[in-house]
Chains A and B, each alone.
Chain A
Amino acid sequence: DAKTTQPPSMDCAEGRAANLPCNHSTISGNEYVYWYRQIHSQGPQYIIHGLKNNETNEMASLIITEDRKSSTLILPHATLRDTAVYYCIVRVAYSGAGSYQLTFGKGTKLSVIP
């Protein structure tokens, strides 16, 4: 799976949009971008994933550049509950082995400030 690079930490004011960047310049054509987050002392939580088109769900939006070498996770109106470590993970969506293990990088610690 391709390696990702994320800033170690970011701050965001409550109510503002949080934009978390991820660089994945070695991504392959069959690899998707996944985002998970881990609130302190809890298990990671799936947020969103995409291949090349922008994606949106009830939690966030994912913007992937046209060359697919980087992406941005957008939390449109950050709240204090969004304070967490956010992991950007690149991996194939369909595996012949049928299992889809995740390789976590160091992630970005997002702090939402009141």
Chain B
Amino acid sequence: DTEVTQTPKHLVMGMTNKKSLKCEQHMGHRAMYWYKQKAKKPPELMFVYSYEKLSINESVPSRFSPECPNSSLLNLHLHALQPEDSALYLCASSQFNGISNEQFFGPGTRLTVL
């Protein structure tokens, strides 16, 4: 199984809502990533988890709260978002010390903040 799954595929939320994005992989990867991609722009790294611990936070606002409850799951909790946070949110995973270190990406969650 070389698949990264993300749910939901689409999400529309108001600025006062609380919602969560979910990412799952069963490849035994111990590094997991959240990227944000605005329209017609390249993906930008948000967070990195290594062995279920947050290792990189790219100065992301606190209204985005990541969580890695176990080695297969990665969540992104959303609260009090702004319309400019509307984007495609991508999850990825990779081996910790693999030779190719390729990242496997999920299909993304398209988020619209009203």
Q: Which residues of A contact B (CB under 8 A)?
A: 34, 38, 41-46, 49, 85, 87, 93-94, 97-107
Contact = CB atoms under 8 A, between A and B. Distances in A.
6 contacts: A45-B105, A93-B99, A97-B55, A98-B30, A98-B51, A98-B55
Interface of B: 4, 30-31, 33, 42-45, 48-51, 55-56, 88, 90, 92, 94, 96-97, 99-108, 110
7 A-B pairs closest in CB distance:
A43-B105, A104-B42, A46-B102, A99-B31, A100-B101, A99-B48, A98-B96
Nearest to A101: B45
Contact of A99 (B55, B99, B106): B55
A102 B50 contact: no
Contacts of B90: 43-44
B31 A42 contact: no
B53 to A, nearest CB: 10
